[in-house]
Amino acid sequence: MKILFLTSWYPSSRNPNFGIFIREHAHAVRSTGHDVVVMALLVHRSKKLWKKSLSDFKDETGTRNIVIEIESRFRDLIYHAFPLHYFVIKKTYDRLLRKHFNPDFIHSNVVFPAGIVGYFLSKKLRKKHIITEHWTKIEDFSKQLAFSCWGAKAYRNAARILPVSGFLQQTISTSFDIPADDKKFSIIGNVVPPEFFTYKAKQPQEGKLRLCAIATWSRMKKGAAKQPELLIEAISEFQKRKRAVSVELTMIGGGDKINELESLAAQKEVKAIFKGFLPKKDIAQQLQESDFFVHATLIETFGVVVAEALLTGTPVICSKVGALPELIHDNNGILCENTVESWVNAFERALMTQFNHRRIAEELQNRFDKSSIGEKIAAVYQSCK
């Protein structure tokens, strides 16, 4: 079958990690033998009034990517102007694809704006429409009357909705009044590549607790859900109670908050090592050398970093929010409330718990690899034919 992937989130030279999970879904679908073309419309903030560029290329998997990038000082206005997105996508489709690529499905990623564009394009081309949902802001979006009515139409007219977690399915159901048991829903998680994230036996160090955290440590809205200050405060309090235990926190990832986090860690006498951005191979090695992965956050629609940690056999201590309880249970980690006391109690419990690291890794093996996710999405296409 021929699949047209639509997205407003996608890696580019400006941000190589933006929407990388959508690219991995496209690759997963292609791995099952389907012909996939990705059309991405990205809007960047710039000092320019308007600049539009287009890249048309095949990536390392042979997947064709048509990436349209718009730069403008009016970025927010343009990003929200979904009729303009539709016009640009439709014009580009007519010019580059119409004669040679007749899709069986329009597969949009994230309801706004790509899902709404996909809804209109599917009507125009008389094709079935599928929406994969990753967005943490669905509930907030549903309250924006100017746009949410179009989002509701996109969801209700879609052949299937594929949230990446049960939590996200429930959020869509509640926010847009779609029954949670509707056959329209199929939960399909993100791809977690197993090439680097593999089990390696732990070498514990007596009297030392090695923690690892991964995120973009940012003040911006996108990174504001992460709670590194809570983590540092909790470690500081834990060290006061357990003076015989030396805690080392490795923080991976960049962001504009790093300087103030370094200052806070120094003030609280917490040994925190900031590694910046690391390639996947180095992240996997760091996880393999850590006793626990820690993830303090206000929201999580899937938790790729948590799944990566589990694949290395590293138990996880994390906030009891969003989709994280779908991944974490008593045999592979500890769930916390977002309070200092709850996190301190979790560290104390972690010291007293013997986790089977090999079993932690084996439980998640093949659950989120490219082949498994690709087959699940392909099965949805088949059922919608």
Per-residue pLDDT of the chain (385 residues; tens, 9 = 90+): 999 999 999 999 888 889 999 999 999 999 999 999 999 999 999 999 999 999 999 999 999 999 999 999 999 999 999 999 999 999 999 999 999 999 999 999 999 999 999 999 999 999 999 999 999 999 999 999 889 999 999 999 999 999 999 999 999 999 999 998 878 999 999 999 888 899 999 988 888 999 999 998 987 655 578 999 999 999 999 999 988 899 999 999 988 899 999 999 999 999 999 999 999 899 999 999 999 999 999 999 999 999 999 999 999 999 999 999 999 999 999 999 999 999 999 999 999 999 999 999 999 988 999 999 999 999 999 999 8
The verdict on residue 328 lying in a domain is yes
The verdict on residue 196 lying in a domain is no
The verdict on residue 303 lying in a domain is yes
Q: Please choose, from the candidates 176, 173, 181, 165, the residue with its C-alpha nearest in 3D space to the C-alpha of residue 133.
A: 165
**Contacts with 156 (C-beta within 8 Å, 6 or more apart), sequence order:** 176, 178
The verdict on residue 201 lying in a domain is no
Residues 260 and 358 in one domain: yes
Phi, psi of 362 (to 5 degrees): -65, -35
Residues 303 and 353 in one domain: yes
Q: Please choose, from the candidates 247, 248, 265, 252, the residue with its C-alpha nearest in 3D space to the C-alpha of residue 217.
A: 252
The verdict on residue 203 lying in a domain is no
Expressed as residue numbers, the domain containing 102 is 2-191+369-384
pTM as predicted:
0.92
Residues 55 and 106 in one domain: yes
Residues 109 and 243 in one domain: no
Q: Please choose, from the candidates 353, 350, 348, 351, the residue with its C-alpha nearest in 3D space to the C-alpha of residue 317.
A: 350
Residues 42 and 182 in one domain: yes
Residues 25 and 106 in one domain: yes
Residues 73 and 151 in one domain: yes
Q: Report the DSSP pairing between strands 64-72 and 51-58.
A: antiparallel
Cα separation, 378 vs 381, whole angstroms: 5
Q: Please choose, from the candidates 199, 269, 244, 204, the residue with its C-alpha nearest in 3D space to the C-alpha of residue 348.
A: 244
Residue 117: CB atoms within 10 Å: 28
Cα separation, 376 vs 385, whole angstroms: 15
Q: Which CATH number belongs to the domain containing residue 375 in this structure?
A: 3.40.50.2000
Domains: count for the chain: 2
Phi-psi region of 37 (alpha: psi -120 to 50; beta: other; left: phi over 0): beta
The verdict on residue 197 lying in a domain is no
Cα separation, 307 vs 274, whole angstroms: 22
